[in-house]
């Protein structure tokens, strides 16, 4: 949580561009109070003939999915601000290349989210701050067994 999964055609993004996107995505969540170690970014390259858009296998196309667990947008203003932040992350990399991009954001129930078998302590500030400060899942009490 969160997980971004990019589906791209080969050579659409360089290693440097992937690095840039992954760091900007991570930074965006860290400023929202989410530890960097929880931000996951995947790039799946699909050979020509294995990725279709509009019934054709297009060059320079990116489709990505954002999966969020544990948090949902508290209101429309927050949702739109987040979408704006997504566009500000990807547009500088994709637009100059003439890449067509499309994405969806999915919000999953917090009850299904676990890290190292633990319920992440999102609602327990002191414990969550430990996760932020140490940038890792810190074991704690009874939640290991749930």
pLDDT at residue 142 in the model: 58
pLDDT at residue 123 in the model: 85
Domain of residue 133 covers 118-146
Q: Is the pLDDT of residue 119 over 80?
A: yes
Q: What is the pLDDT of residues 66-110, one digit of tens each?
A: 999 877 888 999 999 999 999 999 999 999 999 889 999 999 888
Name the helix (H) or strand (E) containing 68.
strand 61-69
Q: What is the pLDDT of residues 13-56, one digit of tens each?
A: 999 999 999 999 999 999 999 999 999 999 999 888 888 888 88
Same domain for 17 and 69, yes or no, is yes
Q: How confident is the model at residue 143 (pLDDT cuts 50, 70, 90)?
A: low
Q: How confident is the model at residue 61 (pLDDT cuts 50, 70, 90)?
A: confident
pLDDT at residue 50 in the model: 87
Cβ–Cβ under 8 Å, residues 45 and 10 = yes
Same domain for 33 and 58, yes or no, is yes
Structure token pair of residue 78 = 């927050």
Q: How many domains does the chain have?
A: 2
The residues pairing with 66 across neighbouring beta strands, listed in sequence order, are 4, 105
Name the helix (H) or strand (E) containing 103.
strand 100-108
Same domain for 100 and 141, yes or no, is no
Same domain for 107 and 125, yes or no, is no
Same domain for 133 and 109, yes or no, is no
Same domain for 65 and 31, yes or no, is yes
CATH code (residue 32) = 3.30.429.10
Same domain for 109 and 143, yes or no, is no
* Residue % of the chain over a pLDDT of 70: 97
């Amino acid at each position: 949580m969160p997980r971004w999964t990019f589906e791209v055609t080969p050579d659409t993004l360089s290693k440097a561009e992937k690095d840039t996107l992954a760091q900007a995505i991570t930074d965006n969540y860290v400023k929202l109070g989410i530890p960097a170690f929880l931000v996951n970014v995947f790039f799946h390259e699909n050979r020509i003939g294995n990725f279709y858009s509009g019934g054709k296998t297009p060059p320079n196309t990116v489709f990505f999915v954002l999966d969020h667990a544990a948090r949902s947008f508290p209101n429309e203003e927050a949702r739109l601000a987040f979408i704006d932040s997504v566009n500000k992350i990807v547009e500088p990399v994709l637009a100059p290349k003439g890449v067509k991009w499309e994405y969806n954001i999915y919000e999953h129930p917090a009850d299904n989210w676990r890290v190292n078998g633990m319920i992440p302590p999102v609602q327990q500030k002191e414990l969550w701050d430990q996760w932020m400060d140490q940038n890792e899942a810190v074991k704690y009490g009874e939640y290991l067994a749930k």
